[in-house]
């Protein structure tokens, strides 16, 4: 076994055990080789090209007022052939600075969750409903969601994942076209255009409510089972 492989396994085990300890969950779960291979399996060659073109378009977007206050457009990142896609709400301060999704504190927790699932960030695709940061991290306005939601929907169409995990109220309600609260939506597979959607709590919520990490972990176990 190569040293990088060993390091990656150790990082994955460490993240997993941290999450287990913090959430008080006693049951152990690891993705099989087949599940990891399924999460990274090859998809049609046309997909990345389409995404690159969409990215160019979105980086120049001026459809709402957020274009005036953004530092960077945060298009999304990860494996364009991913079987698992995470969709959050909107970039925060760090994401706006770096132009990358989920790189602040909530992002670090999301990374831990992904690694605890036996995957790496590069295996999945991560995006947001809004591509630009709302000032002071305020909640997205309905008009901003309407102006931006087709971008993430086009990303989903091009990536064509097996499962979309929607993080928090805004992503879940946008994909499921409902106003049902996230507490009622989460934990049950729903559907968007024939793709399974697992709504769960947002990592930023988990930073404020760490006791609910075990609930999210339960939701992620359902996702891993679906990808097997």
Query: Closest Cα to residue 171, out of 228, 93, 98, 87?
Result: 87
- Of the pair 90, 185, the CB lying nearest ligand URA is at 90
Asked if 92 is part of the footprint of ligand URA (rule: CB under 6 A), the reply reads: yes
The span from the CA of 163 to the CA of 194, in Å, is 10
Q: Considering the complex, what minimum distance in angstroms separates the CB of residue 37 from ligand URA?
A: 27
Binding mask 176-205 for ligand URA (x = CB under 6 A): ----------------------------x-
Q: Are strands 190-192 and 163-167 parallel, antiparallel or unpaired?
A: unpaired
Asked if 107 is part of the footprint of ligand URA (rule: CB under 6 A), the reply reads: yes
Q: Considering the complex, what minimum distance in angstroms separates the CB of residue 88 from ligand URA?
A: 3
Q: Considering the complex, what minimum distance in angstroms separates the CB of residue 95 from ligand URA?
A: 4
Give the pair of three-digit tokens for residue 58.
């979105």
- Of the pair 91, 199, the CB lying nearest ligand URA is at 91
The residue within the footprint of ligand URA, chosen from 16, 86, 102, 125 (CB under 6 A), is 102
Residue 40 CA, chain-centre distance (Å), reads: 15
The residue within the footprint of ligand URA, chosen from 15, 19, 90, 156 (CB under 6 A), is 90
- Three-state secondary-structure class, residue 218: helix
CA neighbours within 13 Å on the CB side: how many for 87? 28
> DSSP 3-state helix, strand, coil percentages of the chain (rounded to 5)?
55, 10, 35
Q: Considering the complex, what minimum distance in angstroms separates the CB of residue 47 from ligand URA?
A: 22
Binding mask 203-222 for ligand URA (x = CB under 6 A): -x------------------
Asked if 106 is part of the footprint of ligand URA (rule: CB under 6 A), the reply reads: yes
Q: Going along the chain, which residue ranges are E strands?
A: 77-78, 84-88, 125-128, 163-167, 190-192, 195-200
Nearest 10 degrees: CA dihedral of 97, 99, 102, 105?
A: -10
Stretch that binds ligand URA, among 57-65, 90-98, 178-186, 190-198 (CB under 6 A): 90-98
What residue ranges bind ligand URA (CB under 6 A)? 88-92, 95, 101-102, 104, 106-107, 128, 204
């Amino acid at each position: 076994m190569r040293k990088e492989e060993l390091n990656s396994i150790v990082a994955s085990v460490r993240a997993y055990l941290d999450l287990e300890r913090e959430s008080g969950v006693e049951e152990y779960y690891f993705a099989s080789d087949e599940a990891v291979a399924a999460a990274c399996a090859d998809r049609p060659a046309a997909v990345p090209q389409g995404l690159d073109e969409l990215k160019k378009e979105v980086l120049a977007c001026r459809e709402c007022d957020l274009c005036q206050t953004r530092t960077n457009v945060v298009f999304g990142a990860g494996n364009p052939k991913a079987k698992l896609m995470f969709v959050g709400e909107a970039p925060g301060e760090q994401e706006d600075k770096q132009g990358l999704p989920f790189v602040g504190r909530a992002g670090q927790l999301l990374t831990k969750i992904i690694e605890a699932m036996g995957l790496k960030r590069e295996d999945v695709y991560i995006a947001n409903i809004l591509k630009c940061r709302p000032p002071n991290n305020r909640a997205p306005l309905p008009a901003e969601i309407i102006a931006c939601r087709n971008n993430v929907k086009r990303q989903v169409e091009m990536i064509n994942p097996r499962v979309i995990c929607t993080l928090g109220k805004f992503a879940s309600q946008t994909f499921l076209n409902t106003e049902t609260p996230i507490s009622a939506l989460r934990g049950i597979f729903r559907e968007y255009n024939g793709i399974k959607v697992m709504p769960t709590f947002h990592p930023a919520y988990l930073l404020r409510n760490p006791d609910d990490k075990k609930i999210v972990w339960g939701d992620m176990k359902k996702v891993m089972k679906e990808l097997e």
